Structure 1
């Protein structure tokens, strides 16, 4: 079976779209997904399945909408894809250390997209690239490095211009999820 990580966009953020992780786990199990585990309150769910990504996304989104009345976008990565994300960070250690030194909060993030952005859409976010807000697009993942807060970043606030469903996770969360996913492969 394939180990998947589901990243749910927009739940349990700012007191909106609240879903308890135990309830979310039950929803995943109710549609036949195996070894379901949740990680922190921001909508990260690990599970096993032999189904294809697209049908899984549709099934999960539909069930969450039906049970909780919340429209939610689900972005999936396999454990192998997540491991690849972690092992292939395009920013150097020096760049990351510099950003972390200047910032009082997390600096390194990955925006996970449902599919590759169109080249012409990338031009819309290029104008927000700066010395303090950097990015690298690798397939359907965007590595983001902020020298200040992601919350005040014009780059992060304009990712929607790619016109692709996106959710963002910090590096520590992705690293922990990669470790958890690896233990499920045994």
Structure 2
């Protein structure tokens, strides 16, 4: 049975090494590959589609399609809508924070527990970090890009592939799922 899947591409850029210049072309590529109900949200690599493939197989298939078509080595992290909704529901930060300053770093695989513990014990300046098994919550009150808790820093510490989206983006992606259901 085909299931709704959310694919979050890691490190997509409009130009350069990991560029995907037009989401419309990516949508067509995925439809031509046999995926159904393909939608994208903004240029940063957010894809919704229906597939019978497991999350692991879908991740590999999309990675390979991107490498073949664009020459880009882009990780495709695959989640079910209910997983993302669960992480939003479990967000440890107060609901009155600016949702554009609350970030969710989702991991492709579960990080090592000891690495998570070491990360939890570090100080991150103005940014605040909360950890769960496969989602790291970051509140960066001023700027995420200049905080010490960037996606790259989290990957270095945890030795896993991550991709980060803010709360606004995740809510909009889930709204696309709801309007299409």
TM-score strictly above 0.5: yes
The alignment yields a C-alpha RMSD, in angstroms, of: 2.0
Residue 133 (structure 1) aligned with residue 133 (structure 2): no
Q: Which residue in the other structure is 1:37 paired with?
A: 39
Q: Which residue in the other structure is 1:169 paired with?
A: 165
TM-score with structure 1 length normalisation? 0.86
Quick one: distance in 2 between partners of 1:6 and 1:68?
Answer: 17
Q: Which residue in the other structure is 2:153 paired with?
A: 158
Q: Which moved more, 1:171-180 or 1:125-134?
A: 125-134
Quick one: distance in 1 between partners of 2:74 and 2:32?
Answer: 17
Taking a change above 3 Å as real, the CA distance of residues 84 and 74 of structure 1, as seen in their structure-2 partners, is: same
Q: Which residue in the other structure is 1:116 paired with?
A: 110
| Number of residue equivalences | 177
**1:125-172 CA distances to partner (integer Å, 9 max, x unpaired)?**
335434621122222111111122111111225202211111111111
2:71 to 65, 69, 72: 69
1:180 to 166, 176, 179: 176
Q: Which runs of 5+ in 2 are unaligned?
A: none
For residue 88 of structure 1, report the CA deviation from its aligned partner. Answer: 2.0
Does the Cα contact within 8 Å between 1:110 and 1:171 map onto a contact in 2? yes
Q: Which moved more, 1:70-79 or 1:135-144?
A: 135-144
**1:109-137 CA distances to partner (integer Å, 9 max, x unpaired)?**
10011011111222443354346211222
Runs of 4+ in 1 over 4 A off after TM superposition: 13-16
TM-score with structure 2 length normalisation? 0.89
Quick one: distance in 1 between partners of 2:124 and 2:94?
Answer: 17
Secondary structure at the aligned position of 1:180 is classed as helix
Quick one: distance in 1 between partners of 2:119 and 2:111?
Answer: 11
